Amino acid sequence: MNFASSILLMGRWLTFGLLLASMVLIGGPSARAQSAPELRATILLRALAFDRKLKARAGDNLVVALVYLASDRASSADRADMRAALGAMGAQKLDGLPLSIVDHRYTTPEALAAAITGGYDVLYVTPGMDAHLQAIKEASRRAQVPTITNVRDYVEAGLSLAVDLVDGRPKLIVNLTASKAEGMDISSQVLQLAEVIR
């Protein structure tokens, strides 16, 4: 790694660290000014940017699929909230990659696997997907596609990243074994700021 790359990485780490510290340790104005979905979206995207394999895995843009169950009210509501939160972030780029958000109405494991092959780079898994979690996990690991969520239990069950809000303060949770199984290589600087499940 050359000097310029080291400075760039240091700057990214400092930005992420300051963002997370201000929200987690202080619960300051930046945390209170954002809605819960916006807060989760911001932290999850910043954390994804510290996956050293992100650019190699993605194409010309980063496609985040919001995986939801149409028959589940909580799942559909979370999909709408996260879509609005990501939309509010504007023309966001992640590690230089333009961000694309797509909805994936979950029907079968086969349909999800085919859609991943068709170009999904990250799966955001909504609440209400408990019965389908194993199939989602298997599909993501086969395709080396990271999973993110706002459900702590899902990360404990084998998805990669979550942001949990405790008394309005966000906590980044990383399942290290799952993230590696999904092809991620998360910077140690982020792991130092997160709760790590091994």
* Residue 91 confidence class, pLDDT cut points 50, 70, 90: low
Q: Give pTM, 2 decimals.
A: 0.84
- The architecture (CATH level 2) of 3-197 comes to 3-Layer(aba) Sandwich (3.40)
Q: What mean pLDDT is predicted for residues 161-182?
A: 92
* Residue 14 confidence class, pLDDT cut points 50, 70, 90: very low
Please give, one letter per residue, the 3-state secondary structure of 80-99. HHHHHHHHHCCCCEECCEEE
Identity at 59, one-letter amino acid code: G
- Give pLDDT, residue 34: 57
- Name the range with the highest mean pLDDT among 2-11, 50-59, 60-69, 92-101: 60-69
* Residue 1 confidence class, pLDDT cut points 50, 70, 90: low
pLDDT tens-digit readout, 70-85: 999 999 999 999 999 9
Euclidean distance between CA atoms 128 and 115, whole angstroms: 20
